[in-house]
Amino acid sequence: MLNLIFMGTPDFAVPTLESLLAWPGGRVVAVVTAPDRPAGRGRQLQGSAVKNAALAHGLPVLQPTNLKSPEFQAELRSYAADLQVVVAFRMLPEAVWAMPRLGSINIHASLLPQYRGAAPINWALMHGEAETGVTSFFLRHEIDTGDLILQARMPIAPEDDFGVLYAKLKTAGAALARRSVEAIAAGTAPSIPQQARTELRPAPKLQKETGRLDFTRPATELVNWVRGLSPAPAAFATLPDGRLLKIFRAQPVAADGALPAPGTWASDGRTHLRVAAADAWLDVLDAQLEGKKRLPVQELLRGFRLGDADAVSR
């Protein structure tokens, strides 16, 4: 029976923890997660989703602020883990990932080597990919570059947004983690070096300005950008009156006649709100004005006016 340490923070990691807890071939001896952080209107300290799940199962929880701390590493070593399983956690120093006799594995939400980085689900959608998946691999020093164990492929449906695909992949990741740990325990796990390729697309951490829509791009690209950021952190644009509009769903609409300059807004005040892109209209379907709640566009338009001369009515 393998002693396992699980490392993770958000709810994406919880199904994998639950899957490992149900595995008869091992036992989770401890969980490592992020320190509690202020959240909500009261800014009260709250534990991570992984911490809450671990405590519900009576597991020891470690919440280091410094992974290089000798005190933390000594405590980690005391659990005598055979293997560490990492899902959506921060980068580990070598002294931590190399500690168990079988090393450490990570579950990553892309088909590595594509989309290495912190936001693989977002970027796959934003680039209009038709397929993604999950990958298990042995941790090494360079982020997301270790030898591959297993992969599970998944089609991306045209209607999938980040929220939908996130839910699909966290379930797929849990199943892949279980298969990977079983193979490691049986001594049959592959260890395949990642192939060097020149056309790799990275998946860096999202910044606030990542969400700003660039209307000089084609409308279909903008739809993918919206999908990749919905429901959070959300794509956004500035309306003619200066207000920010978060956009959660959109579709391309061919122009009936000449298309105005990119970034020109148009609305009939009742049924549609759209903005000119490079080659077509971007029709907003679901959005949120700053200070308001998210609404279907027909509801948002009640009492809404575009504002200044940069907008047209049609």
Q: What is the DSSP letter of 195?
A: P
5's CB contacts (< 8 A; 6+ apart) are 28, 29, 30, 31, 32, 76, 79, 81, 83, 84, 85, 100
CATH number of 136's domain: 3.40.50.170
- Per-residue pLDDT at 305: 80
- Judge whether 192 lies within some domain: no
> Does 172 or 269 have the greater pLDDT score?
172
- Do 171 and 225 fall within a single domain? no
- Do 181 and 215 fall within a single domain? no
The residue from 130, 153, 186 where one domain ends is 186
- Do 163 and 239 fall within a single domain? no
- Do 89 and 136 fall within a single domain? yes
- Per-residue pLDDT at 198: 72
- Judge whether 225 lies within some domain: yes
- Do 155 and 14 fall within a single domain? yes
- Judge whether 198 lies within some domain: no
- Do 176 and 121 fall within a single domain? yes
- Do 116 and 235 fall within a single domain? no
Q: What is the pLDDT of residues 128-145, one digit of tens each?
A: 999 999 999 999 988 999
Q: What is the pLDDT of residues 109-124, one digit of tens each?
A: 999 999 999 999 999 9
Q: Tell me how far apart the alpha carbons of residues 52 and 17 are, in angstroms, rounded to a whole number.
A: 11
- Is the pLDDT at 314 greater than 60? The verdict is no
Note the pTM of the prediction, 2 decimals. Answer: 0.94
> Does 314 or 32 have the greater pLDDT score?
32
- Judge whether 194 lies within some domain: no
- Do 14 and 106 fall within a single domain? yes
Q: Tell me how far apart the alpha carbons of residues 119 and 232 are, in angstroms, rounded to a whole number.
A: 12
- Per-residue pLDDT at 309: 44
Residue type, 24: P
CATH number of 304's domain: 3.10.25.10
For the purposes of burial, counting CB atoms within 10 Å of the CB of 111, is it exposed (0-12), middle (13-18) or buried (19 or more)?
A: buried
- Do 127 and 234 fall within a single domain? no
- Do 174 and 224 fall within a single domain? no
- Judge whether 135 lies within some domain: yes
The residue from 156, 186, 216 where one domain ends is 186
- Judge whether 195 lies within some domain: no
Are 4 and 29 in contact by the 8 Å Cβ rule? The answer is yes
- Per-residue pLDDT at 280: 97
15's CB contacts (< 8 A; 6+ apart) are 170, 171, 173, 174
- Is the pLDDT at 257 greater than 90? The verdict is no
- Do 32 and 179 fall within a single domain? yes
Domains in the chain: how many in total? Answer: 2
The rounded radius of gyration (Å) of the Cα atoms in the chain is 23
- Judge whether 72 lies within some domain: yes
- Judge whether 296 lies within some domain: yes
- Is the pLDDT at 295 greater than 50? The verdict is yes
Domain that includes residue 229, residue range: 208-313
> Does 198 or 266 have the greater pLDDT score?
266
Q: What is the pLDDT of residues 145-200, one digit of tens each?
A: 999 999 999 999 999 999 999 999 999 999 999 999 999 999 999 999 998 777 89
Q: Is the dihedral of CA 294, 9, 4, 61 positive or negative?
A: negative
Name which of 294, 281, 165 is nearest 236 in CA terms: 294
Q: Tell me how far apart the alpha carbons of residues 247 and 56 are, in angstroms, rounded to a whole number.
A: 37
Mean of the pLDDT values across residues 13-17?
Answer: 98
- Is the pLDDT at 91 greater than 50? The verdict is yes
- Do 80 and 119 fall within a single domain? yes
